[in-house]
C-alpha cells in the first residue's frame, strides 16, 4: 500500500454506499487520514452506532481533499464502470461490481485505463481476463458487524417458516417475478409458510413499484405474502433479516449483501450457484441450485440492448429444482428448531470474511 492515498466513494444508504461506509469505518479504525472525495451527497442516516468522532473524521478527510490532494497520489475509487474513466489521480484503483458476461468496448476501455480494477468474485475477474484485461483482481467483501447481528428474537407464535426475498426488484437479472410466482404456486395461502419481500427499488416511482407487485402476484389474494417498503435504517433492515428463516436468492450477483448478511447471522438460504454466490456459499451453509441456462439480461427497465454498458446474459434456474431446494431448506430450519441451533456453517462466515481483511486487501492493491 502506498503511504499516502485518497478515496473516491459514495456514502449513502444503497449497496455501494453501504460498502463504502464499511471501508471508511475500518480506515478510521486504522487511524489513517486519506483525502476523501465523496460521490454525491454524504448520507449516514442509515448507519447504526455512528459516533460523532467518526462523522467528524469523514468531514475532515473531505475538507483536506481539495486543499492537499495531488494527482500523483494513488486513489481508491468505488463506483460503477460507467463513470469510472474519470479520476482525481493518475493512479486509480477501481473497486466495482459486474453482473453480466459480455463486456462492451466502453467497459473494456474503462478497465484498461484504470491502474487496477478490483471485482468481488472470480466470475467477473475471469470474464474481463477473457477479453484481454490483465489488470483485474479479486477482493471479497466483509461482514458488516457494525450494522448486522443475530437478534435472537421470536417474531411469530404460530410456528410458521418465513422466507425472505431481498434486494431491489429486477424482473430479469434477479428473477424477481419468477421467484415470487414459483413460491406462490407451491406455498401460496398455506399458513405454515410466509414470504416477506423487501425488494423496494429506489429507482422506481412508488406507483410503478406497486404496479409491478400487482402484476407479479396476479388478481388472486395471497394471504401469506407481504411487500415491505424501503427500510431507511440498517437497524430496521437487520430486523427484517432476523425475522425470516430462509433467504431466497436466485440472481446473478456480484456479491449479494442481503444473502451474505443473512447467512452470517445464522439463517438458511436457497441459492443459485453462480457468480458472486460461489465466493461464500456451499452445500454446507446453503441449499445450492445449479443454473439451468443463460438468458439475455435485458428487461427494458434497467437493462437495454445495444447500450454501451451492462450487456449480455444472466443465469436462469429450473422451477422444480428451486422448489425442491425450498423443501430442503425447510428441513434444515425444522432440524435447527428441534436442536435450538442456527445455521452454524453460515455463522462461520463472520470470521472468514471480515471487514478488516477486506480493507487490508483493498489497500494492498492501491499503488
CATH code that applies to domain 6-143+354-365? 3.40.50.2000
**Strands 92-95, 313-316: parallel, antiparallel or unpaired by DSSP?**
unpaired
Two domains, one topology: 6-143+354-365 and 161-352: yes
Nearest to 20 by CA among 30, 31, 9, 28: 9
Given a contact cutoff of 8 angstroms between Cβ atoms, the answer to whether 248 and 61 are in contact is no
pLDDT reading at 2 higher than 80: no
Q: Percentage of residues in the chain with pLDDT exceeding 70?
A: 99
Average of pLDDT values for 116-143? 98
Backbone angles phi, psi at 159, to 5 degrees: 80, 5
318-361 tens-digit pLDDT: 999 999 999 999 999 999 999 999 999 999 999 999 999 999 99
CATH code that applies to domain 161-352? 3.40.50.2000
Q: Quick one: pLDDT at residue 3? A: 62
Q: Domain boundaries in the chain?
A: 6-143+354-365, 161-352
Helix axes 257-264, 15-29, angle to 10 degrees: 60
CA angle 88, 136, 295 (to 5 degrees): 110
Cα dihedral sign, 357-359-360-365: positive
302-330 tens-digit pLDDT: 999 999 999 999 999 999 999 999 999 99
Given a contact cutoff of 8 angstroms between Cβ atoms, the answer to whether 327 and 163 are in contact is no
202-236 tens-digit pLDDT: 888 999 999 999 999 999 999 999 999 999 999 99
C-alpha span between 307 and 302 (Å, rounded):
11
pLDDT reading at 1 higher than 70: no
Q: How many CB atoms lie within 10 A of CB 347?
A: 17
Amino acid at each position: 500500500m502506498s503511504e499516502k492515498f485518497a478515496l473516491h466513494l459514495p456514502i449513502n444508504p444503497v449497496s455501494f454506499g453501504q460498502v463504502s461506509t464499511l471501508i471508511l469505518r475500518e480506515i478510521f479504525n486504522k487511524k489513517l487520514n486519506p483525502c476523501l472525495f465523496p460521490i454525491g451527497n454524504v448520507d449516514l442516516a442509515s448507519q447504526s452506532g455512528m459516533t460523532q468522532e467518526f462523522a467528524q473524521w469523514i468531514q475532515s478527510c473531505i475538507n483536506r481533499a481539495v486543499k492537499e490532494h495531488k494527482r500523483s497520489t494513488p486513489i481508491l475509487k468505488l463506483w460503477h464502470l460507467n463513470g469510472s474513466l474519470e479520476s482525481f489521480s493518475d493512479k486509480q484503483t477501481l473497486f466495482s461490481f459486474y453482473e453480466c458476461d459480455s463486456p462492451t468496448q466502453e467497459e473494456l476501455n474503462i478497465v484498461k485505463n484504470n491502474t487496477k480494477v478490483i471485482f468481488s468474485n472470480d466470475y467477473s475477474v475471469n470474464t474481463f481476463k477473457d477479453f484481454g484485461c490483465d489488470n483485474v483482481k479479486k477482493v471479497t467483501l466483509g461482514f458488516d458487524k457494525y450494522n448486522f447481528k443475530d437478534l435472537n428474537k421470536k417474531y411469530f407464535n404460530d410456528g410458521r417458516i418465513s422466507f425472505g426475498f431481498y434486494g431491489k426488484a429486477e424482473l430479469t437479472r434477479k428473477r424477481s417475478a419468477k421467484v415470487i410466482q414459483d413460491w406462490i404456486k407451491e406455498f401460496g395461502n398455506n399458513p405454515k409458510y410466509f414470504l416477506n419481500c423487501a425488494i423496494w427499488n429506489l429507482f422506481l416511482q412508488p406507483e410503478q413499484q406497486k404496479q409491478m407487485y400487482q402484476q407479479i402476484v396476479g388478481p388472486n389474494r395471497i394471504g401469506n405474502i407481504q411487500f415491505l417498503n424501503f427500510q431507511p435504517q440498517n437497524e430496521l433492515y437487520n430486523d427484517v433479516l432476523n425475522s425470516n428463516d430462509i433467504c431466497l436468492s436466485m440472481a446473478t450477483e456480484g456479491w449479494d449483501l442481503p444473502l451474505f448478511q443473512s447467512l452470517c447471522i445464522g439463517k438458511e438460504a436457497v441459492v443459485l450457484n453462480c457468480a458472486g454466490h460461489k465466493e461464500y456459499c456451499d452445500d454446507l451453509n446453503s441449499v445450492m441450485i445449479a443454473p439451468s441456462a443463460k438468458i439475455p439480461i435485458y428487461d427494458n427497465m434497467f437493462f437495454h440492448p445495444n447500450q454501451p454498458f451492462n450487456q449480455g446474459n444472466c443465469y436462469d434456474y429450473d422451477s422444480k429444482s428451486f422448489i425442491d431446494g425450498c423443501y430442503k431448506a425447510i428441513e434444515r430450519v425444522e432440524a435447527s428448531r428441534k436442536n435450538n441451533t442456527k445455521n452454524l456453517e453460515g455463522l462461520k462466515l463472520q470470521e472468514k470474511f471480515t471487514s478488516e481483511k477486506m480493507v487490508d486487501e483493498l489497500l494492498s492493491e492501491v499503488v
